[in-house]
Amino acid sequence: MKVLVLNGPNLGRLGTREPSVYGSTSYADLVALCEQAGRDLGVEVEVRQTDHEGEMVGWLHEAADASWPVVLNAGAWTHYSIAVRDAASQLTADLVELHISNVHKREPFRHTSYLSDIATAVMAGLGVAGYPLAIRWLAEKPGR
């Protein structure tokens, strides 16, 4: 089984961007955390990050065509990108929408997600610890 972990805009700046909101874990440390979770579970995990919406759309198409489950932290695209939503709605395997912060305790515009109603599960507010939990959930989900 392969799990694709996709991160949207500004997530490559983890550890330096608003550490009071997103924590001090670097993006490199996040990648290592996800890859270790995959090794522990016997699951192939590939982690990607982009600040370019079209690239994210292409990755979601790739996951749909390959029937890979996706952990998606779409960042700001969560709240306004119909293109990312349309691409994610084509997924043929599970989608976990993930947010490092609790978006429901933040600015009102962050309370709306264009992804939640098409996601299999939504995780928010667990910090980077949410990533290995999402990977574990996908790996251990009944029917796998």
Q: What single-letter DSSP state applies at residue 10? A: T
> Do you know the residue count of the chain?
144
Structure tokens at 125: 């507010």
Q: Is 116 annotated as a binding residue?
A: no
* Closest to 123 measured CA to CA, from 109, 144, 112, 137: 137
| Three-state DSSP class for residue 103 | helix
Annotated catalytic, 52?
A: no
Active-site choice (27, 99, 114, 131) = 99
Is 86 annotated in a binding site? The answer is yes
Q: Are 81 and 74 in contact (CB under 8 A)?
A: yes
73 assigned to a ligand binding site: yes
110 is in an annotated binding site: yes
Query: Is residue 17 marked as binding?
Result: no
55: which 2 tokens? 């690239």
Burial class (CB in 10 A: 0-12, 13-18, 19+), 15: middle
User: Is 102 marked within a binding site?
Assistant: no
Q: Which of 22, 27, 114, 131 is catalytic?
A: 22
99 catalytic, yes or no?
yes
Binding site residues, as ranges?
A: 73, 79, 86, 100-101, 110
Residues annotated catalytic, as ranges = 22, 99
Binding site residues for substrate, as ranges?
A: 73, 79, 86, 100-101, 110
